[in-house]
Structure 1
Amino acid sequence: MASVVEYKGLKAGYYCGYCESREGKASCGMWAHSMTVQDYQDLIDRGWRRSGKYVYKPVMNQTCCPQYTIRCHPLQFQPSKSHKKVLKKMLKFLAKGEISKGSCEDEPMDSTMEDAVDGDFALINKLDIKCDLKTLSSDLKGSIEVEEKEKEKSLKKEGSKELIHPQAIEEKLGSGEPSHSIKVHIGPKPGKGADLSKPPCRKAKEMRKERKRLKLMQQNSAGSFEGFQARGQPVSVLPKAKSNQPKSLEDLIFESLPENALHKLEFTRFLCSSPLEAEHPANGPECGYGSFHQQYWLDGKIIAVGVIDILPYCVSSVYLYYDPDYSFLSLGVYSALREIAFTRQLHEKTSQLSYYYMGFYIHSCPKMRYKGQYRPSDLLCPETYVWVPIEQCLPSLDNSKYCRFNQDPQAEDEGRSKELDRLRVFHRRSAMPYGVYKNHQEDPSEEAAVLEYANLVGQKCSERMLLFRH
């Protein structure tokens, strides 16, 4: 099984949703007819990102708003005060139906889209944009059957679009332009809304009763936590954390709920259609590698769907869409924290899978800096493709929107293309080295395009992936 891609080249001078420049954006892209999880892992480690079946890489020293690949270290991650606030808000809602007033300051303040070549599709980063689930034209309970049928069709039809159930979603997003179905979070005006830094007022007697009840439940339910499940996953019970240690992320997510809790939150996980080929190696995670829909069910009603890619070394977030009636739960932040915890759980069985990729970090756009709050995290150097702790990058980014993070001036891109003739192409239903293919070509622009592609994807991917040539 090999990845088959069609390089589309440079796309420059188009609209940027971050700074609203009408012609400031620049990126190179390719259409992925199929792709292995290892190839995509190597591509995102060189600054690429998928938007449906379109895979693109910003031209960092040309684009108006440089987008740096960011990854979080889940094994060392400790939730911040604002993250804990979101988790506690969810628990209060599930236990008592309490709804916090005002907006969550940690929610992204704007939406962004990456237009695919010729408007084929638009990327929705799960932390950036929230789509209205009420626009879906069919019940998501039958999503897995729909997706499997569409996947079979896409394998037979070259260049078909990724279908996110149902078709209405594709129609809304395919143009690359925002529509009424996309809900953009707007924060409260200064001086308006509830003070989220203060907990809601509660009586001391009520708090004592709740603590006693939780303590009894924890004692009776010790050892009942079974971790994450692929289907029907409830908010479970964890043993009480030691009092002299801060609560872990899992402690906060799975904190005990009273028996008379008003709401029940469950999860299901399904494979979904994407260019990534599903793989189930013996030494991989139980769920396998590929693209997955994670559905969030509240009292039997679906309220959110997140898409993630599970790759050899990471869980990569793609996007989230949810019912705007539940925006008060800060589902973008909540789902990111759930996915960080999920990455930790996958790591227990697959040790090399130890990172959580959050897409792009855009420092030149202040309202898009929130991803840097998930610490510890690294940014990818756009020239040498090494990971650098974000704390070391921020001073440079404050001075210049485009930066080389690798401080060694002699360092080079170790994964760069070194032998163009070893690049593999797919021509007339046959795979062959580029050194053989070029002997039959007379177009002088051919080699320039192939060389550009090879430098962007690197030597390893150029030797494994098949570059489709007409």
Structure 2
Amino acid sequence: MWAHSLTAQDYQDLIDRGWRRSGKYVYKPVMNQTCCPQYTIRCRPLQFQPSKSHKKVLKKMLKFLTKGEIAKGNCEDAPMDSLVEDAVAGDFALINKLDIQCDLTTLSDDLKQSLASAEKTKGRGPQKEEPEEFAPAPQREEKLWSGEPSQLMKVLTVPKPGKGADLSKPPCRKAKEIRKERKRLKLVQQSPTGPLRGPQGQGQAPSLGPPKAKCNQPKSLEDLMFDSLPEDAAHKLEVRLVPVSFEDPEFKSSFSQSFALYVKYQLTVHQDPPEECGQTEFTRFLCSSPLEVEKPPDGPECGYGSFHQQYWLDGKIIAVGVIDILPSCVSSVYLYYDPDYSFLSLGVYSALREIAFTKQLHEETSQLSYYYMGFYIHSCSKMKYKGQYRPSDLLCPETYAWVPIGQCLPSLDNSKYCRLNPDPAAVDEDRSQEPGRVQVFHKKAIMPYSVYKQQQKDPSEDAVVLQYASLVGQSCAERMLLFRN
């Protein structure tokens, strides 16, 4: 439907029923019929913890601002990158756990423990053979000279000149092993009795006394993002929140630069034809908004409405995030950026900035506590990355209840379209039950549909209005005005 004008609360209620806007065009996917069901997704910023890949992006930006150019490599940026590290988050948790456990043990102790666990599991079914480099020296010798051709080949094969490892240099060590060894040596030096030995000399670690004041809690998003820059930083980044209005002097003065950036982005990243990237298309798509500007006393200082978050680097706009600020959330609409800076993963960075911005607005307005990321499509990798911003919820397409995404994934793996609400008795609490109370705007007059219906003889009107009422819900149907000509 075309929205000539919407209050912030009306649009908040619409997106909580699966609607989204593109300019003034407001649409809702037919979930059980489309080939790729689009589930509304929201993140909970108050509980959000950046993943390892998120931290990498923040550190990369900090390094760029501090020192200048960094190795760009071959980096293609999505609106919010989905990296392999996130997909194996469980492995990272295991690695972190092992790092803690191994702080007070030597690498040889680790290897012995690995071998012991391998012996225990032996005989429980086919197991992968233990790599030779983890076997003790005597065991390695027996294997090497056991007469097996494969083993002999490994020993007798000599690298050709210029290829293979340089045997004159010490073997390489993994960075993780070096970190553990440094930690162990540091603890040995800090111990008042020298080497970490137990009372009976059994190699047990003594108690290190009460915990230090330093806390090992992970850094918050704000700590990572707003880490202070030195005075001689190579670059300056500023994020400006600008209302989408040609009456706003800041928006008006930056419009030409913002539009030029949009054209460059669409041509380069999306390969759009130039005729589809005109100023009219840009204005209709990202500058025209049906949202009415509201500044209630209990709302945020910036008010509710549509905004552009402009990322200024050394006096030049390199990215623009289009957002809506609503009573309960910050809703992400679109992002366009300078492809020359794609090595900074601006899609990920801007999403993290918007999450942090939502937390900032929450301090002003307690009910504003969610970050809406648009649609999540489980069967599409380009849209699936949004599920990596956790904790997050998906909107049930039948009951319009929010369900944690972790509970939804098993069902979505089996079927593209699912009723996500696990409660079989749950229903749409705001379903249309009295279509006669739908508000209609007809001939410059406002009237309930029951009155309008008496003036019309077209039987098709009923089907249209009933469908409209069921899709927007009873609350919006009684507040919004459905234009009929």
| Range of TM-score over shorter length | 0.5 to 0.7
Q: Once the two structures are superposed, what CA deviation does each residue of 1:163-212 show, in whole Å capped at 9, x if it has no partner?
A: xxxxxxxxxxxxxxxxxxxxxxxxxxxxxxxxxxx99xxxxxxxxxxxxx
Structure 1 residue 257 displacement after superposition? 1.5
Residue 103 and residue 250 in structure 1: after superposition, are their counterparts in 2 closer, same or farther (change >3 A)?
farther
Is the CA contact (8 Å cut-off) linking 2:375 and 2:383 kept in structure 1?
Answer: no
The aligned residue for residue 411 of structure 1 is: 426
What amino acid sits opposite 1:317 in the alignment? S
Q: CA deviation at 1:274?
A: 1.1
Instruction: Mark the structure with the bigger radius of gyration.
Output: 2
Q: Which residue of 2 aligns with 1:245?
A: 217
Cα separation, 1, equivalents of 2:64 and 2:447: 59
SS at 1:58 equivalent: coil
Of 54, 57, 64 in structure 1, the residue corresponding to residue 28 of structure 2 is: 57
> Within 2, Cα distance between the matches of 1:392 and 1:258?
44
211, 226, 232: which one aligns with 1:260 = 232
- 1:379 alignment counterpart: 394
1:217 matched residue in structure 2? none
Return the alpha-carbon distance in structure 2 between the equivalents of residues 422 and 356 of structure 1: 32
Match of 1:462 among 449, 467, 477: 477
Report deviation, 1:409. Answer: 1.7
- State how far apart, in whole Å, the 1-side matches of 2:42 and 2:356 are: 14
State how far apart, in whole Å, the 1-side matches of 2:239 and 2:381 are: 33
Would you say the 8 A contact 1:280–1:288 is kept in 2?
A: yes
SS at match of 2:379: coil
Q: Cα distance, 1:365 vs. partner?
A: 1.1
Task: Give distance in 1, aligned partners of 2:455 and 2:214.
Answer: 70
| Alignment partner of 1:42 is 2:13 | yes
The match for 2:127 is none
If each structure's strand is expressed as a fraction of its own residues, which one has the higher value? Answer: 1
Preserved CA contact (<8 Å) 1:277 1:290? yes
Choose the corresponding residue for 1:346, options 361, 367, 370: 361
How far residue 99 of structure 1 moved from its aligned partner, in angstroms, is: 1.8
Give the Cα separation in 1 of the matches to 2:479 and 2:223: 43
1:368 and 1:319 mapped to 2: Cα distance?
13
Counterparts of 2:51 and 2:74, CA distance in 1: 18
Q: Report the alpha carbon displacement of residue 102 of structure 1 after superposing the two structures with TM.
A: 3.0
Q: Is the 8 A contact 1:265 1:299 kept in 2?
A: yes
> Which residue of the partner structure matches residue 67 of structure 2?
96
**What corresponds to 1:203 in structure 2?**
none
Residue 256 (structure 1) shift: 1.7
Number of the residue aligned with 1:441: 456
- Which of 432, 437, 442 is the aligned partner of 1:422? 437
- C-alpha distance in 1, partners of 2:329/2:426? 26
Q: Tell me how far apart the structure 2 counterparts of residues 454 and 36 of structure 1 sit (CA, whole Å).
A: 18
Instruction: Give the aligned partner of residue 241 of structure 2.
Output: 269
- Given candidates 289, 304, 307, the residue that maps to 1:292 is 307
Q: Pairwise mapping of residues 56-455 of structure 1 onto structure 2 (< 5 A)?
A: 56-103=27-74, 107-108=77-78, 127=80, 243-272=215-244, 273-455=288-470
Residue segments in structure 1 that go unaligned for 5+ positions in a row: 1-29, 109-125, 129-197, 200-240
Distance in 1, matches of 2:239 and 2:401, equals 35
8 Å contact from structure 1 (residues 73, 354) kept in 2: yes
Secondary structure of the 2:58 match is helix
Shift of 1:104: 5.1
Matched position secondary structure for 1:50:
strand
RMSD of aligned residue pairs (Cα, Å): 1.8
| Higher relative contact order (Cα pairs below 8 Å, separated by 6+ residues) | 2
Q: Would the alpha carbon gap of residues 364 and 274 (structure 1) be closer, same or farther in structure 2, given more than 3 Å must change?
A: same
The Cα shift of 1:463 comes to 0.2
Q: Which has the higher helix share?
A: 2
103 and 38 in structure 1: CA distance in 2 versus 1, 3 angstrom threshold: farther
Question: Counterparts of 1:53 and 1:440 in 2: how far apart (Å)?
Answer: 30
Determine helix, strand or coil for the equivalent of 1:34: coil
AA matched with 2:440? V
CA–CA distance in structure 1, aligned partners of residues 69 and 60 of structure 2: 8
The whole-number CA distance in structure 2 between the counterparts of 1:407 and 1:83 is: 31
> What whole-Å deviation, never above 9, does each CA across 1:342-390 have from its counterpart, x for those lacking one?
0001001100000000000000113321000000000000000000000
Encode CA deviations 1:199-252: one digit per residue, 9 max, x unaligned: 9xxxxxxxxxxxxxxxxxxxxxxxxxxxxxxxxxxxxxxxxx954221100001
For residue 208 of structure 1, what is the aligned residue in structure 2? none
Match of 2:207 in 1: none
Whichever residue aligns with residue 57 of structure 1, its letter is K
Paired residues, number:
314
Q: 1:80 to 1:100 in 2, by over 3 A?
A: farther
Please list every run of 5 or more consecutive structure 2 residues that lacks an aligned counterpart in the other structure.
Answer: 82-174, 177-212, 245-287
Identity of aligned residues (%): 81
1:127-162 C-alpha deviation (Å, 9 max, x unpaired): 59xxxxxxxxxxxxxxxxxxxxxxxxxxxxxxxxxx
How far is the alpha carbon of 1:101 from its aligned partner? 3.3
Give 1:301 deviation, angstroms. 0.9
Q: Deviations over 1:43-98 (max 9, x none)?
A: 00000000110000000000010000000000000000000000000001000014
Distance across 2 between alignment mates of 1:247 and 1:70: 25
Aligned 8 A contact 1:127 1:319 in 2? no
TM-score scaled by structure 2? 0.63
Does the residue aligned with 1:352 lie in a helix, a strand or coil? coil
